Amino acid sequence: MKKVLVVEDNEKNMYLICFIIGKMGHQTIQAGTGEEGIELAMSERPDLIMMDIQLPGIDGLETTRRMRQSDHISHIPIIAITSYAMAGDRERLIEAGCTGYIEKPINPETIMGEIAAYLK
């Protein structure tokens, strides 16, 4: 069983993502802010981080940048979960340190395969 940190401030999205990850047989850790996400990533050392971009306080891009600066967690794959789908957004996410991204609205049928690919 793998451990996945989900950083998401929307309760419905958090529930859906955690439900899907749980159905895959993995454990989830939940954070509602970027600051909390950093703390939990440092203490829990998850196998994967699912990162919302629009968060209260520091946004997901800044949270990702800060995570990448820590030797303890910089190797963990970070997948952005975002409704940003404009030209240049993918590059901006990758430049901030995201390993990949999944577009909102979340498609339960395809997200399982995407998550599984990052947990190999």
Average pLDDT (32-44) is 98
Angle, in degrees to the nearest 10, between helices 34-44 and 60-68: 30
How large is the average pLDDT for residues 8-36?
97
- Two tokens at 56? 């209260």
Q: What is the largest CA-CA distance in the chain?
A: 36
Q: What is the pLDDT at residue 3?
A: 98
Task: Kindly list the domain boundaries of the chain, sorted by start residue.
Answer: 3-118
Q: Torsion angle of alpha carbons 31, 33, 39, 45, nearest 10°?
A: 40
- CB-CB contact of 103 with 53 (8 Å): no
Which class does domain 3-118 fall in? alpha beta
Average pLDDT over residues 72-83: 94
Total-model pTM:
0.95
Given this model, what pLDDT does residue 90 score?
A: 82
Rank 22-26, 99-103, 108-112 by mean pLDDT and report only the highest.
22-26
